[in-house]
Amino acid sequence: MSRFKPALFMGLLLLPMLAKAQGSVIAVTDGATYNVGSEVLMRLVPSPGAPPLQDVVFTATVRYVGDPHDVFTTPPTQTWTCPAEPAKSAYSLLWKIPTDARTGRYAIDLLGEDRFSRQIVSKVSDAGSFAVHRKLVKIERISLDKTFYTTGDHVDCDITLRNLTHQPLTGLRVEFSNRYWPWIAGPAQQAAASIVTVKQNMTLSAGGRQEIHASDVAVAGKVDKPTIHQYGVVVWDHDRKHVLDIAFSHLVLIRPPGVTSPKPYPLQYTYPELSDVDTRSYRHFYPPGLDTGAIHFDKSHTMFMPGDEAAIHFSLANPGKTPWKQLEASASLLDRDEKPIQKRIVANRFDLLPGAPPHQETLTFRLPADQAGLYRVEVVLSDSTGNIVAENDLELGVNPLPKSILIFCAHEDDEGAWAGLTRAAIENHIPIHFVYFTGGDAGSCDLYYEHSCDAAEALNFGALRMDETRAVLGHLGVPPEDIYFLGLPDGGSGEIWYHHPNPDHPYLSVLLASDHTPYLNVFEPNLPFARESVVAAVKKLIKMFHPDVIVTAHPPAEGHIDHIVNNYFVVQALQDMVSDKELTPESVKVYVDRVYNPKTNPPDPYHYLEHTFFVSGEVMALHQEAGWYYQSQGGDRALGHIRDFNQLPRRIVYRQMLDWDKHQGWNAKP
């Protein structure tokens, strides 16, 4: 008789438990991102709906996402349990982060053993994650001498700095100014910031704090009416090449002498969540004739190509109280000069009774094959005497369209210039994908939190802006799986392009305090903030989608460095692919926009051809509504400035780069 082996028997019994345990535990860290040299604490909670894992002891492995060799495994004596009640789960040390650790995203894997048999009963990959950043200095406090200033008043300020490292920091430079972003602002913006040097060659002891009192650091500027204003403090290294930290003061009010009204409002948020944004009830602002209750159009398809058979769906109903007898419904297609091209009798000698179900009608018009533009379908309902009972019309935007589209944007709100093209692609089932270079972490981050942002807050704010973009594009019909984010630092594209070509020496961003992308759900986790790495990612995306048209920003016709370098990354990738014979200049068209502080005559070597894209009023209404989802970027204020239907633009002018494959190296220096 064979000998009974309890360990083997227990292992066989536990095999079903192992299968059930996958993903049944969540690793919760006590922070979202950690400075190098600090400690990560972790506790375990059961996944929602998962059975409790009693008598299971877990060890953990921390790994750098994307690199299987960069791994830290907790010692066998360092273990966790997963109580059935999350409130009974306590934090304990997971990892003391080395001071030389790489910045970016780390994942947590768990391995669970039965407490008695020591058999493995649970393996959970990606049970949790966190980011690591590297921050040397923190501006802990900016205190102005008052909140209300009159033009000409002098401004005093108290500043507290803290050294976050275990080494002395020397040669620091502290500046006070009007609010601005030094790595984004051009020379004119920097001059307008009225920068004053508060301290030079300053030393901070290891882990130490220092108080700075600065008198007469600014003079309240001239304003025409009471105006909300903000000041900023920037800490630089000795050579004034790298920003170590930036923070902003509380909001102040500057008033002209003797003037106290009107009192302005600071940026606030209307909706508690993106899902609460209301994009439909405002439609009563439209002229009544464009949304009559008698003739109702299906407005889901208003963008077409020349020569298309345009199917028009509409319904006819009687919204009144008396019957309509012996009606005739006719429909006409009008060209952009309001001249009828085609006319159809849709229905004849029919009645519409009050409250009766609507008559559903469909007709098709063949659009002119050689003429883009704005067209209009007009439906008229008349009685037997020829009197018009009701009329309504539907605009159609007609343009040549590419076979596939790839749009590159600098930030999460830069796609707006292409709303017409976007909606045309969706309505005509043309593949369209979006790529966002930066996470937008600097754009109003401090206004969102109502104080200057640390690395964790900037990271969360960038993720919020990505959510806003998904909502905006979703309103236009783009599914979230067709939207990609690279997670570069907001405002850092210039540093990456000009000064950090090699991924071995990536750019350490200011707010994120990371030199690799720390975000979840990005195209390439832990993408180095280096030119070669970004260009390589762009090439991967182009190879994935083989676009007929690529959209990028105008070089350097825009007043934001991220927009300019957006183009540099894309064109460099295309030029490399031409050189490697992966595509030809004839196989891809490159369109550019100017959406941020455009300059009239950009000094660049390229040649351009201007095009006009015609957009229906319905699509421009969708575009207007979509912008409201950018609450963090003033979307709620845009909601307070609704343009009615007749005020919405119908023509979008953009440029095509004709010789993007030439002029290599012209933008190698700032």
Number of helices (H) and strands (E) in the chain: give both, helices first.
10, 33
CA distances from 558 to 209, 277, 593 (A): 40, 30, 9
Place of tokens 């105008």: 554
391 with 290: CB under 8 angstroms?
no
Q: What are phi and psi of 612, to 5 degrees?
A: -115, 130
Three-class SS string for 589-632?
Answer: EEEEECCCCCCCCCCCCCCEEEEEEECCHHHHHHHHHHHHHCHH
Q: Which DSSP category does 230 fall into?
A: -
- CA separation for the pair 17, 498 (Å, rounded): 54
Provide the pLDDT for residue 282. Answer: 65
Cβ neighbors of 459 (< 8 A, separation 6 or more) are: 32, 33, 131, 441, 512, 518, 519
Extract the residue ranges of the chain whose pLDDT is less than 50.
1-21, 285-286, 288-291
| Token pair for 34 | 């950690």
If you write DSSP's letter for every residue of 547-570 in order, what string do you get?
Answer: -SEEEEEPTTTSS-HHHHHHHHHH
CATH of 6-133 given 1.20.140.10, 2.60.40.1930, 3.40.1280.10, 1.20.1250.20: 2.60.40.1930
Helix (H) or strand (E) holding 467: helix 455-475
Place of tokens 């993408």: 527
Q: What is the pTM of this model?
A: 0.90
CA distances from 481 to 277, 419, 420, 521 (A): 22, 18, 20, 11
Q: How many Cα atoms within 13 Å fall on the side-chain side of residue 354?
A: 5
| Token pair for 551 | 């959209």
443 with 411: CB under 8 angstroms?
yes
Sheet holding 39-46, edge to edge: 25-29, 39-46, 92-96
* Identity of the amino acid at 46: P
CA dihedral of 504, 507, 508, 511, whole degrees rounded to 10: -150
306 with 400: CB under 8 angstroms?
yes
Place of tokens 């019957």: 323
Taking every pair of Cα atoms in the chain, the longest distance, rounded to a whole number of angstroms, is: 106
Q: Which fold has domain 306-398?
A: Immunoglobulin-like (2.60.40)
Give residue-wise pLDDT tens across range 469-478: 999 999 999 9
- CA separation for the pair 513, 490 (Å, rounded): 12
435 with 406: CB under 8 angstroms?
yes
The candidate with the shortest Cα–Cα distance to 147, out of 76, 220, 217, is 220
Q: In whole angstroms, what separates CA 2 from the centre of its chain?
A: 66
- CA separation for the pair 548, 569 (Å, rounded): 18
One fold for 6-133 and 405-657: no
Provide the pLDDT for residue 1. Answer: 38
Sheet holding 120-133, edge to edge: 33-35, 120-133, 104-114, 56-64, 71-73
575 with 538: CB under 8 angstroms?
no
| Token pair for 221 | 């500027």
Place of tokens 């000041």: 231
- CA separation for the pair 231, 446 (Å, rounded): 12
Q: Are strands 92-96 and 39-46 parallel, antiparallel or unpaired?
A: antiparallel
> Does domain 137-255 bear CATH number 2.60.40.10?
yes
Place of tokens 């299987």: 68
- CA separation for the pair 22, 122 (Å, rounded): 6
Domain covering 405-657 in this structure, CATH number: 3.40.50.10320
Angle at 86 between CA 85 and CA 92, to 5 degrees: 125
Burial of 404 (0-12, 13-18, 19+ CB in 10 A): middle
Cβ neighbors of 281 (< 8 A, separation 6 or more) are: none
Q: Are strands 405-409 and 549-553 parallel, antiparallel or unpaired?
A: parallel
Q: Domains of the chain: which residue ranges?
A: 6-133, 137-255, 306-398, 405-657
